[in-house]
Amino acid sequence: MSEGMSEHSEIEAVEPGLEFLRPKFEVEGFPWAQVMGYVFSLLLTFAALLLVVYHAMPPILLLAVILALALGQAGLQLGVFMHLREGRGTAWQLLPLGLAFFIAFALIGTSIWIMLFKTGVS
Amino acid sequence: MPAFLLYLVHTLFPPDTRQPTELGADFMILVTGIGIVFILTRYQKWRWLWREWLTTVDHKRIAIMYLIAAIAMLFRGGVDALMLRTNLALPNVRPIGALEYNEVFTTHGTIMIFFMAMPFIFALFNAVIPLQIGSRDVAFPRLNAMSYWLFAFGAILFNISFVIGGSPNAGWTGYPPLTEVAFNPGPGESYYFLSLLIAGIGTTITGINFLVTIIRMRAPGMTLMRMPMFVWSVLTTSALIIFAFPPLTVALALSLLDRTFGSSFFTLGHGGMPMMYVNLFWLFGHPEVYIVILPAFGIFSEVVPTFSKKRLFGYTTMVISLVSIMFLAYGTWVHHFFTMGAGPTVNAFFGLSTMLIAIPTGVKIFNWIFTMWGGRIRITVAMLYQMAFIPTFVVGGATGIMLSVVPADYQLHNSYWVVAHFHNVLIGGTVFGLLSGLYYWWPKMFGFILNERQGKVAFWLFVIGFWVTFLPQYLLGLEGMTRRMYTYPFGFGWHELNLISTLGAFIMGAGFLALVYNIVWSLRYGERDLTGDPWNGRTLEWSLPSPAPEYNFARIPVVHGVDEFWAMKESGDTLANHLRPQDVKTLELPKNTGMPFMLGLSFFVGGFGMTFLWWPIAIFGGLGVVACLLYAAFDYNDKKHLPADVIRHTERSWGRLQA
């Protein structure tokens, strides 16, 4: 028994700095936040789909509404699933997040700029 | 019942697939398949295959599986290329017709990019990165295996299109409206979208996995600016993958919705916008060419210092140029469709941003040359590929700059000049780089050295064949030959150049055969690598035995500078000569699992069902995916312990443990 104990204490921990990756099943309860986040994501998606499929409102209003739904969806994903609210000392996940936002907006912005040619030539 | 069977045969083997070439391929696949099953059964290797390979989560074994897949796909893509070149060897002589030619160039491009270049770079990522950063594994070993099996089953789904149902035929870019179901009925394009979607999930996961691995799992003391340059290149490549693959996924998924469910995102009618597909595709496509070239840059940055016996010249500028290429790579995609006519401002902006990329790339070229300058150069095969790369890539880069000049692009667009340019950079850059890395790291992966003399024969065949193939294509482009022509009439002055080009393609084919012969010969007779450091290397992977044990490092090294292993050898203080028994601890390693394989299989079944719109099969596959993910989420028994005594025994057998 003591042999097994000493052997166990010899086990090297996971890589230094990666301790947080170990699941903490004992301390955490049922992941209600994640389940509800999943359900709400689906609701937001189907709401947008149904609004478009049934032409529920005039086009401009429709655009505004699905844009609002998309922003809600993005916030939900970031908050519930992308660990935005979890701090582990330094908040350095904000750097890649900022990069992601920059790239997303740059790509969407330039794509709109590029595709504007249709209004120019037609 | 016979009616059902008739329907099945007609759907799976429609009349236009009943060609001699495809029936030949069917026969070959059948024979090879039976052969493999027979050998596995005869030597009772099924259990071994499942236990040791199909369920493995060890990054070194996953690397080998990626490599085998990449070489097999290089063969398939190469045979496609030879078929294309044979068709164009002489005017009006066309062994294969227009439709089949379209299918062959589509599969050639798709396979070479997605199923050859990508797994080849992932093979080297997996084989080298954890060893170079002094880590026992990647951050997420199971996800790593998932990546592999998603890639592998995506590749299988794509490859069976040739013999079952019909190949995609709209080019490797798959532009609408040519991929619309109205203009392109049949399963071909659905195969294309689904297989790339499935493999794309795997690729995205790999990008995340290696980014996390490099950021979180480096050995103590290895600051970012002490990382080997290959690690830097993989870090930037992973960042490119993470941001570049989502636009591709969106483009493919929306196209699939258009084909399968009658939506109209990219259709000609109903307010669809086909050019938006082109925009999204190249939003991915341009970073993609840097995804396949940056690892090659990293490989050369390892090979050149080792074989010049000098520290890499200009480490900091190398890092700065890698990171600036990474950023600039996102800002140039419109140069693939200047002729769409987005207007002078847009085109000028993207022309300029394209030219900008030449600056950091030029810095890297000069740094490699300065590293060799005054070094003690050993001409090995790995080094030969590097020395062939520099002039080849400079020509490819220079022709790229010429294409970035918008008025010139309007003339050269869609001509053989473009074909010559991108093969110049993809073969001269990526393939030379990958082959250089293959020869360089082969001993570390397999424990024996590839025969150098045979390797040099393969090298010369490949490089000479490359120039003979693609130099004439520049001239053909200037003479007005457009790409994707399946034949051409006599009297355009194209036939001599085309014949030379075809000749070159067959020389390259011979180079590939020489490479395979080299591997098979060395497998039996090649020199075993007993030291673990056959090239007098500079980075940590060479401090381990070849091949590295399952746990990589018995004790994690502490890093004090760039080229840590070189410094260790200089001071006589290697990992092996001060490892005492009490330093060895029992290790926790990830346990093998069949889940990734089953997940890939489920995706394959679901994808096959969706390709033929057989919904019960598609739903069955989808349920399989959900089941695998649920199993993975609740499988807490995913670690095993490797006792310290076993490690001590292994290390002692290598003579790496002090008494």
Q: Reply yes or no on whether the pLDDT at A25 is more than 70.
A: no
Q: What is the pLDDT of residues B18-31, one digit of tens each?
A: 777 777 877 888 88
- Beta strand ranges found along A17-72 (DSSP E): none
Question: Are A10 and B644 in contact (CB < 8 Å)?
Answer: yes
Mutation for A interface: B140, B209, B275, most A CBs within 10 A: B275
Chain B 313-332, CB below 8 Å of chain A: which residues?
330-331
Chain B closest-CA separation from residue A78 CA (Å): 16
Task: Calculate what percentage of chain B has a pLDDT beyond 70.
Answer: 99
Task: Calculate what percentage of chain B has a pLDDT beyond 90.
Answer: 77
Concatenate the DSSP letters of all residues of B183-246 into one string: TS-SSHHHHHHHHHHHHHHHHHHHHHHHHHHHHH-PPTT--GGGS-HHHHHHHHHHHHHHHHHH
What per-residue confidence (pLDDT) applies to A4? 38
Q: Reply yes or no on whether the pLDDT at A9 is more than 50.
A: no
Question: Are B273 and A118 in contact (CB < 8 Å)?
Answer: yes
Please give the residue of chain A at the shortest CA–CA distance from B284. A107
* Average pLDDT across chain B, whole number: 92
What per-residue confidence (pLDDT) applies to A18? 59
Q: What is the pLDDT of residues B151-198, one digit of tens each?
A: 999 999 999 998 888 899 999 999 998 999 989 988 999 999 999 999
CA distance linking residue B441 with residue B297, whole number of Å: 15
Question: Are B276 and A115 in contact (CB < 8 Å)?
Answer: yes
Q: Reply yes or no on whether the pLDDT at A15 is more than 90.
A: no
Topology of domain B45-593+638-653, CATH: Cytochrome C Oxidase; Chain A (1.20.210)
Residue-level length of chain B: 659
Q: What is the pLDDT of residues B561-572, one digit of tens each?
A: 999 999 998 888
The number of C-alpha atoms within 13 Å of A75 and in the hemisphere containing its C-beta is 7
Q: Reply yes or no on whether the pLDDT at A3 is more than 60.
A: no
Residue the block writes with tokens 């799976």: B12
Q: Reply yes or no on whether the pLDDT at A2 is more than 50.
A: no
What per-residue confidence (pLDDT) applies to B320? 96
Confidence of residue B633 (pLDDT cuts 50, 70, 90): confident
Would you call B635 an interface residue with chain A, using a CB distance cutoff of 8 Å? Answer: no
Mutation for A interface: B277, B334, B638, most A CBs within 10 A: B334
**Which stretch of DSSP H or E encloses residue B589?**
strand B587-590
Query: Looking at this predicted complex, what is its ipTM?
Result: 0.79
What per-residue confidence (pLDDT) applies to A118? 65
Please give the residue of chain B at the shortest CA–CA distance from A116. B342
Of A8-17, B32-41, B219-228, B277-286, the least confident: A8-17
* Residue B287: cis peptide before it, omega within 30 degrees of 0: no
Q: Reply yes or no on whether the pLDDT at B61 is more than 70.
A: yes
Concatenate the DSSP letters of all residues of B8-26 into one string: HHHHHS-GGG-SHHHHHHH
Would you call B636 an interface residue with chain A, using a CB distance cutoff of 8 Å? Answer: yes
Confidence of residue B531 (pLDDT cuts 50, 70, 90): confident
Q: What is the mean pLDDT of residues B401-430?
A: 95
CA distance linking residue B433 with residue B437, whole number of Å: 6
Q: Reply yes or no on whether the pLDDT at A42 is more than 70.
A: yes
Question: Are B341 and A111 in contact (CB < 8 Å)?
Answer: no
Please give the residue of chain A at the shortest CA–CA distance from B138. A15
Q: Reply yes or no on whether the pLDDT at A120 is more than 70.
A: no
SS3 B485: coil
Tokens describing residue B102: 């379209």
Nearest by Cα to B88 from B509, B506, B630: B506
In this complex, the residue of B243, B342, B585 whose CB is nearest that of residue A114 is: B342
CA distance linking residue B627 with residue A34, whole number of Å: 19
Give, as one character, the DSSP assignment of residue B639: E
Confidence of residue A89 (pLDDT cuts 50, 70, 90): low
Question: Are A100 and B217 in contact (CB < 8 Å)?
Answer: no
Chain A 50-109, CB below 8 Å of chain B: which residues?
100, 103, 106-107
Of B86-95, B388-397, B441-450, the least confident: B86-95
Provide the phi-psi class of B591: left if phi over 0, else alpha when psi is between -120 and 50, else beta: beta
Of A85-89, B364-368, B395-399, B443-447, the least confident: A85-89
Q: What is the pLDDT of residues B636-645, one digit of tens each?
A: 888 899 999 9
List chain A residues with CB under 8 Å of B585: 10-12
* Average pLDDT across chain A, whole number: 76
Question: Are A117 and B341 in contact (CB < 8 Å)?
Answer: yes
Would you call B632 an interface residue with chain A, using a CB distance cutoff of 8 Å? Answer: no
In this complex, the residue of B216, B243, B641 whose CB is nearest that of residue A11 is: B641
Question: Are B135 and A15 in contact (CB < 8 Å)?
Answer: yes
Q: Reply yes or no on whether the pLDDT at A64 is more than 50.
A: yes
Mutation for A interface: B138, B284, B333, B338, most A CBs within 10 A: B333
What per-residue confidence (pLDDT) applies to B25? 78
Confidence of residue A32 (pLDDT cuts 50, 70, 90): confident
Q: What is the mean pLDDT of residues B233-262?
A: 94
Q: Reply yes or no on whether the pLDDT at A8 is more than 60.
A: no
Question: Are A121 and B283 in contact (CB < 8 Å)?
Answer: no
Confidence of residue A86 (pLDDT cuts 50, 70, 90): low
CB pairs under 8 A between A and B: 62
Q: What is the pLDDT of residues B81-137, one digit of tens each?
A: 999 999 999 998 888 889 889 999 999 999 999 999 999 999 999 999 999 999 999
Question: Are A25 and B636 in contact (CB < 8 Å)?
Answer: yes
Question: Are A115 and B273 in contact (CB < 8 Å)?
Answer: yes
Residue the block writes with tokens 């950091």: B360
Chain B closest-CA separation from residue A54 CA (Å): 14
Q: What is the mean pLDDT of residues B619-623?
A: 97
The number of C-alpha atoms within 13 Å of B377 and in the hemisphere containing its C-beta is 15
What per-residue confidence (pLDDT) applies to A121? 47
What per-residue confidence (pLDDT) applies to A22? 62
Q: What is the pLDDT of residues B473-521, one digit of tens each?
A: 999 999 999 999 999 998 888 999 999 999 999 999 999 999 999 999 9
Question: Are B587 and A12 in contact (CB < 8 Å)?
Answer: yes
What per-residue confidence (pLDDT) applies to A79? 84
Would you call A121 an interface residue with chain B, using a CB distance cutoff of 8 Å? Answer: yes
What per-residue confidence (pLDDT) applies to A88? 61
Q: Reply yes or no on whether the pLDDT at B261 is more than 70.
A: yes
Question: Are A18 and B217 in contact (CB < 8 Å)?
Answer: yes
Would you call B79 an interface residue with chain A, using a CB distance cutoff of 8 Å? Answer: no
Domain locations in chain B as residue ranges: 1-44, 45-593+638-653
List chain A residues with CB under 8 Å of B587: 11-12
Q: Are B55 and B471 in contact (CB under 8 A)?
A: no
Domain locations in chain A as residue ranges: 30-86, 90-122
Question: Are B217 and A111 in contact (CB < 8 Å)?
Answer: no
Max distance between CA atoms of chain A, in angstroms, equals 83
What per-residue confidence (pLDDT) applies to A7? 40
Chain B closest-CA separation from residue A10 CA (Å): 6
In this complex, the residue of A23, A113, A118 whose CB is nearest that of residue B346 is: A113
Which residue type, as a one-letter code, is found at position B243?
F
Tokens describing residue B532: 């673990």
Would you call A16 an interface residue with chain B, using a CB distance cutoff of 8 Å? Answer: yes
What per-residue confidence (pLDDT) applies to A80? 86
What per-residue confidence (pLDDT) applies to B18? 75
* Residue B246: cis peptide before it, omega within 30 degrees of 0: no
Of A28-42, B341-355, B454-468, the least confident: A28-42
Residue the block writes with tokens 């001699």: B20
More confident residue, B299 or A115: B299
Mutation for B interface: A3, A107, A113, A119, most B CBs within 10 A: A107
Q: What is the mean pLDDT of residues A73-100?
A: 77
Confidence of residue A20 (pLDDT cuts 50, 70, 90): low
Please give the residue of chain A at the shortest CA–CA distance from B280. A111
